[in-house]
A and B are shown apart, each in its own frame.
Chain A
Amino acid sequence: MATLANATQILRSPGDPRIESSGPSSLTGVDRLARALGWFSFALGAAELAAPRRIAGALGLEGKERLVRAYGAREIAAGIPTLSYDKHVGLISRIVGDVVDIATLAPALRAANPKRKNAVFAMGAVGVVTLLDIAAAAGVKVLVLSHFVPADATGLTAEKWADAVRPNLQGRSGGGARSDGNSAVSEARDQRPQSARGKHAG
């Protein structure tokens, strides 16, 4: 993005400030995840609108082409708010859509379906996306800090972990006082499972 920002310099006066190095952003991991999910919504929605017969056929859901097309419209409708700053509305609508997708795919998992393998793969993909939608709606930072450090990773000391995550933490606001990366890391440490803290406390 700094490259893009500097590319726009051609529209500025030669003396205007030019970016030399880029620093911390207001954009959080949740924002980035929501954006990725928003664009995914658009892509999936476009595919469902453009090729409902191929999608229904691949999943063994022949006869449901109109439903697939309707889901395409739904995906795009959910993608718009997910990409906006009202992303929470979009993410909630995506989660509701995920539940509907799971309910629609469930009959395709029957043993008699010759396309069962595809349906199982699709169900798995929907499951992963549902988790990501929930993580984004809930605020993924909490989930990452609480659960993504393996408790049995003996080589991963608290210091190593803290050093690795520190660049991605911008601190939390509270009472107007600045909370720097170190205090955020300390908070994060406290959120780790007891087992992990016991093993790797540095």
Chain B
Amino acid sequence: MKALVWHGKEDVRYDTVSDPGIEEPRDAIIKVTSCAICGSDLHLFHNLIPAILPGDVLGHEAMGEVVEVGSGASHALSKGDRVVIPFTISCGECDQCRRGNYSVCQCTNRKKELAEKIFGHPTAGLFGYTHLTGGYPGGQAEYLRVPFADTTHLKVPDGIPDEQLLFLSDILPTGWQAAVQCDIEPGDIVAVWGCGPVGQMAIRSAILLGAEQVVAIDCVPERLSMAAAAGAVPIDFMNESVIDRLNELSGGEGPHKCIDAIGTESHVSFSQPDTVLDRAKQMMLMENDRPHVLREMIYVCRPAGIISIVGVYTGLIDKVPMGIAMNKGLTWRMAQAHVQRWTPDLLRRIEEGQIDPSFVITHKVDLSQGPEMYRVFRDKQDSCIKVVLQP
């Protein structure tokens, strides 16, 4: 089959690889009909996340049709079923899964020893996201082996196009969880850093969940326009002070809730000197992430506010003002999305027409164009916001 394979930093190739097969009774094989490049794939593209190896198949946003089912998954899946595959692989049986914490499933990371050494305790297996999370081949391919398939799928109805359903695999539940983690109450001002696909989903989720005002922070005009179209107040951080503008919008009190939809690779600019220092440290392997957004959120957030983090961080960060966070009584909430916790409700909302997440798609191309699209997405060329690939 054809697949997008990571060969090294900035080197993703459209390779021919061997077909996956059923390995465990709970496996299923799906024929991928649509998959997408996620912003967090760019961290892999840039080799910022440890434990990715040359030869790894990328991709954790995929959907398709079941073509083969193991004996242990046949009670839940049949050939021909149309499914969206959550990026978090979950067993559905462990203590964490029973609590709904699917992204920290205790059973599905097949490289537990490695993850325990790095994280202290293992987290769930993820598709196409390094060997710290199991080293499972990803979904930017013609076929995908789905482990624990009986509990790692969302059946979706015919009649709704892939474009509206695909993002149930990651960015829609991630954006939704970012807003849910904020415990939004009437009158809340919610500030969202990053207007990429996850940020866009978070903005709309915060509006749906009743925020009085949502403020969107980015520097890419088309992304800010997309946020403004949803009703958010845009702030272009290259042209105005985020702190001043947020204080102005909130009567000097700061936003009640702050969402980080950026993570490790915040924009580097001489107008934000800490980002230049972070980038220099990152190049010299002295720091893993560029936490400018965290610093800004802690500083501007209203005391007793909530900081919700869904942007991916990879390791060690410097100069985060923990003293300010503690003294202001800020609550931090963060996680890889517990996808399966949210998808039944989100699918219902899609079916009812409340949400149509396909609005973020700017590029829909053949899988063979994947290597080029990684560059286009990374460089934000051609107003690129979200790339959908079709094998």
Which A positions have Cβ atoms within 8 angstroms of B?
1-2, 4-6, 8-9, 11-13, 15-28, 31, 80-81, 84-86, 170-171, 173-176, 178
Contact = CB atoms under 8 A, between A and B. Distances in A.
Contact of B15 (A11, A15, A22, A28): A22
B18 A11 contact: no
Contact of A17 (B54, B137, B283): B137
Nearest to B366: A178
Interface in B132-165: 135, 137, 141, 145
A86 B23 CA distance: 41
14 contacts: A8-B55, A8-B56, A11-B53, A16-B20, A16-B135, A17-B137, A18-B18, A19-B16, A21-B15, A26-B11, A26-B371, A27-B11, A173-B372, A178-B366
Contacts of B20: 15-17
A178 to B, nearest CB: 6
B369 A9 contact: no
A115 B371 CA distance: 50
Contact of B7 (A25, A28, A178): A25
Interface residues of B, number: 52
A18 B54 CA distance: 11
B59 to A, nearest CB: 12
B382 interface: yes
A170 B371 contact: yes
Contacts of A4: 7, 54-55
Mostly helix, strand, loop or mixed at chain B's interface? Answer: mixed
Given A4-B55, A11-B53, A173-B372, 11 more contacts: A1-B11, A17-B17, A17-B18, A20-B16, A22-B7, A23-B14, A25-B7, A26-B11, A26-B371, A80-B283, A176-B365
Contacts of A5: 5, 7, 53-55
Contacts of A18: 17-18, 55
A171 B284 contact: no
Nearest to B17: A17
Mostly helix, strand, loop or mixed at chain A's interface? Answer: loop
Contacts of A24: 13-14, 368, 371-372
Interface in B354-389: 362-366, 368-369, 371-376, 381-382
Contact of A12 (B12, B135, B373): B135
Nearest to A12: B135
A34 to B, nearest CB: 10
Nearest to B1: A17
B364 A176 contact: yes
B98 to A, nearest CB: 27
A27 B381 CA distance: 16
